[in-house]
Structure 1
Amino acid sequence: MDSSEKKEKKRKKKEGEEPEKKRKKSEVPSSPEKSDIDVENPYALENFRISDAVKGMLREKGIKALFQIQAQSFDIVLDGDDLVGRARTGQGKTLAFVLPIIESLRKSSSGKKGYGRAPTVLVLAPTRELAKQVHADFECYGGAAGLSTICVYGGSQYGPQQNAMRRGVDIVVGTPGRIKDFLDRGDLNLKTLKFRVLDEADEMLNMGFVEAVEAILGAVEDTSSVQTLLFSATMPSWVKEIATRFLKPNKKTVDLVGDEKMKASNNVKHLLLQCAYSARSQMIADVIKVYGSGGRVIVFTETKNDASELAGSLGTNVARPLHGDIPQAQREHTLAGFRSAKFLVLVATDVAARGLDINDVQLIIQQCEPPKDVETYIHRSGRTGRAGNTGIAVMMFDRKKEYMIPMIEAKAGFKFEKITPPQPSTIAKESSFTAIKAVSAVSDSVVPFFKEAAEQLVSDCKRPAMELLAKALAKIAGCTEVKRRSLQTSHDDATTLLFEVSKPIHSVGYIFNALRGFLSEECSSSIRRMNLTADGKAAVFDVPSAMVDEFLIGNDGADNFTISIPEALPELTAKPERTGGYGGGGYGGGGSSRGGYSGGRGNRGGFSSGRGRGGYSGGGRGGRKY
Structure 2
Amino acid sequence: MSFSNLGLSDEIVRAVTARGYTDPTPIQIQAIPTILLGSDLLAGAQTGTGKTAGFTLPILQRLSAKRLEDLPSHPPIRSLILTPTRELAAQVEESVRDYGKHLNLTSMAIFGGVNINPQIRRLKSRVDILVATPGRLLDHVQQRTVDLSQVEILVLDEADRMLDMGFIRDIRRILTKLPKQRQNLLFSATFSDEIKALAQTILTRPVMIEVAPRQANADLIAQKVYRVARDRKPELLTHLIKQHNWFQVLVFTRTKHGADRLSKQLTQGGIPALAIHGNKSQLVRTRTLAKFKDGTLQVLVATDIAARGIDINELPQVVNFDLPDVPEDYVHRIGRTGRAGSAGEALSLVCVDEYKLLADIEKRMKRSLPQEEVAGFEPDPNAKPEPIQRRSPRSQPQREMISGRSASGNGRRR
Shared fold (TM-score, shorter chain, > 0.5):
yes
Q: Is the 8 A contact 2:229 2:378 kept in 1?
A: no
Alignment partner, residue 310 of structure 2: 356
**Counterpart code for 2:148:** L
How many angstroms apart in 2 are the aligned matches of 1:343 and 1:156?
A: 23
Alignment partner, residue 227 of structure 1: 183
Deviation of 1:110 (Å): 6.3
Map residues 180-195 of structure 1 onto 2, 5 A cutoff: 180-195=138-153
Q: Is the 8 A contact 2:154 2:184 kept in 1?
A: yes
**Counterpart code for 2:315:** V
Deviation of 1:113 (Å): 7.7
Alignment partner, residue 279 of structure 2: 325
Deviation of 1:406 (Å): 2.6
Kindly tell me: are residues 200 and 135 of structure 1, through their superposed partners in 2, closer, same or farther at Cα, counting changes over 3 Å?
same
Map residues 266-277 of structure 1 onto 2, 5 A cutoff: 266-277=219-230
Q: Is the 8 A contact 1:116 1:166 kept in 2?
A: no
Give the secondary-structure state (helix, strand or coil) at the position aligned to 2:242: helix
Kindly tell me: are residues 403 and 211 of structure 1, through their superposed partners in 2, closer, same or farther at Cα, counting changes over 3 Å?
closer
Alignment partner, residue 95 of structure 1: 53
How many angstroms apart in 2 are the aligned matches of 1:66 and 1:151?
A: 26
How many angstroms apart in 2 are the aligned matches of 1:488 and 1:109?
A: 67
Alignment partner, residue 102 of structure 2: 144
User: 1:13-62: CA deviations, max 9, x gaps?
Assistant: xxxxxxxxxxxxxxxxxxxxxxxxxxxxx3x2242212222222222222
Alignment partner, residue 376 of structure 1: 329
Give the secondary-structure state (helix, strand or coil) at the position aligned to 1:270: strand
**Counterpart code for 1:242:** L
Map residues 290-309 of structure 1 onto 2, 5 A cutoff: 290-291=243-244, 294-309=246-261
Kindly tell me: are residues 217 and 263 of structure 1, through their superposed partners in 2, closer, same or farther at Cα, counting changes over 3 Å?
farther
Deviation of 1:112 (Å): 7.2
Q: Is the 8 A contact 2:254 2:323 kept in 1?
A: no
Q: Please tell me whether residue 406 in structure 1 is matched to residue 359 in structure 2.
A: yes
Q: Please tell me whether residue 334 in structure 1 is matched to residue 138 in structure 2.
A: no
Deviation of 1:132 (Å): 0.5
Deviation of 1:415 (Å): 2.9
User: 1:255-291: CA deviations, max 9, x gaps?
Assistant: 2268xx8666233111100111211122111222345
Q: Is the 8 A contact 2:78 2:128 kept in 1?
A: yes
Give the secondary-structure state (helix, strand or coil) at the position aligned to 1:196: strand
Alignment partner, residue 63 of structure 1: 21
Q: Please tell me whether residue 50 in structure 1 is matched to residue 46 in structure 2.
A: no
Deviation of 1:400 (Å): 3.2
Alignment partner, residue 211 of structure 2: 256
How many angstroms apart in 2 are the aligned matches of 1:227 and 1:110?
A: 20
Greater mean deviation of Cα atoms: 207-216 or 105-114: 105-114
User: 1:549-584: CA deviations, max 9, x gaps?
Assistant: xxxxxxxxxxxxxxxxxxxxxxxxxxxx4279xxxx
Deviation of 1:346 (Å): 0.2
Q: Please tell me whether residue 311 in structure 1 is matched to residue 275 in structure 2.
A: no
How many angstroms apart in 2 are the aligned matches of 1:245 and 1:238?
A: 11
Q: Is the 8 A contact 2:352 2:383 kept in 1?
A: no
Alignment partner, residue 200 of structure 2: 244
User: 1:217-272: CA deviations, max 9, x gaps?
Assistant: 1222x322x11100001122332122111211x221112268xx866623311110
Map residues 169-568 of structure 1 onto 2, 5 A cutoff: 169-220=127-178, 222-224=179-181, 226-248=182-204, 250-256=205-211, 265-291=218-244, 294-315=246-267, 318-367=272-321, 369-421=322-374, 485-486=375-376, 488-489=378-379
Deviation of 1:127 (Å): 0.5
**Counterpart code for 1:346:** L
**Counterpart code for 2:210:** D
Deviation of 1:77 (Å): 0.3
Q: Is the 8 A contact 1:338 1:344 kept in 2?
A: yes
User: 1:478-523: CA deviations, max 9, x gaps?
Assistant: xxxxxxx43643xxxxxxxxxxxxxxxxxxxxxxxxxxxxxxxxxx
**Counterpart code for 2:211:** L
How many angstroms apart in 2 are the aligned matches of 1:194 and 1:390?
A: 39
How many angstroms apart in 1 are the aligned matches of 2:364 and 2:12?
A: 40
Give the secondary-structure state (helix, strand or coil) at the position aligned to 1:95: helix
Kindly tell me: are residues 231 and 579 of structure 1, through their superposed partners in 2, closer, same or farther at Cα, counting changes over 3 Å?
closer
Q: Is the 8 A contact 2:317 2:337 kept in 1?
A: yes
Kindly tell me: are residues 110 and 298 of structure 1, through their superposed partners in 2, closer, same or farther at Cα, counting changes over 3 Å?
farther
Kindly tell me: are residues 385 and 111 of structure 1, through their superposed partners in 2, closer, same or farther at Cα, counting changes over 3 Å?
farther
Deviation of 1:160 (Å): 1.1
1:578 alignment partner, one of 382, 394, 399: 382
Q: Is the 8 A contact 2:229 2:377 kept in 1?
A: no
User: 1:325-382: CA deviations, max 9, x gaps?
Assistant: 2222111111111111121210111221123222232111111x42211111112111
The higher relative CO (CA closer than 8 Å, separation ≥ 6) is in 2
Greater mean deviation of Cα atoms: 86-95 or 405-414: 405-414
Give the secondary-structure state (helix, strand or coil) at the position aligned to 2:65: helix
Q: TM-score under structure 1 normalisation?
A: 0.58
**Counterpart code for 1:207:** M
Greater mean deviation of Cα atoms: 70-79 or 313-322: 313-322
**Counterpart code for 2:94:** A
Kindly tell me: are residues 236 and 111 of structure 1, through their superposed partners in 2, closer, same or farther at Cα, counting changes over 3 Å?
farther
**Counterpart code for 1:311:** S
Q: Please tell me whether residue 123 in structure 1 is matched to residue 60 in structure 2.
A: no
How many angstroms apart in 1 are the aligned matches of 2:34 and 2:317?
A: 36
Deviation of 1:419 (Å): 2.9
Identity %: 32
Q: Is the 8 A contact 2:225 2:369 kept in 1?
A: yes
For the aligned residue pairs, the C-alpha RMSD in angstroms reads 2.2
Q: Is the 8 A contact 1:105 1:111 kept in 2?
A: no
Greater mean deviation of Cα atoms: 274-283 or 407-416: 407-416
How many angstroms apart in 2 are the aligned matches of 1:164 and 1:389?
A: 38
How many angstroms apart in 2 are the aligned matches of 1:265 and 1:370?
A: 16
How many angstroms apart in 2 are the aligned matches of 1:280 and 1:141?
A: 42
Kindly tell me: are residues 113 and 418 of structure 1, through their superposed partners in 2, closer, same or farther at Cα, counting changes over 3 Å?
same
Unpaired stretches in structure 1, ≥5 consecutive residues: 1-41, 422-484, 490-528, 530-576, 581-626
How many angstroms apart in 1 are the aligned matches of 2:338 and 2:215?
A: 16
Kindly tell me: are residues 109 and 414 of structure 1, through their superposed partners in 2, closer, same or farther at Cα, counting changes over 3 Å?
farther
Q: Is the 8 A contact 1:262 1:375 kept in 2?
A: no
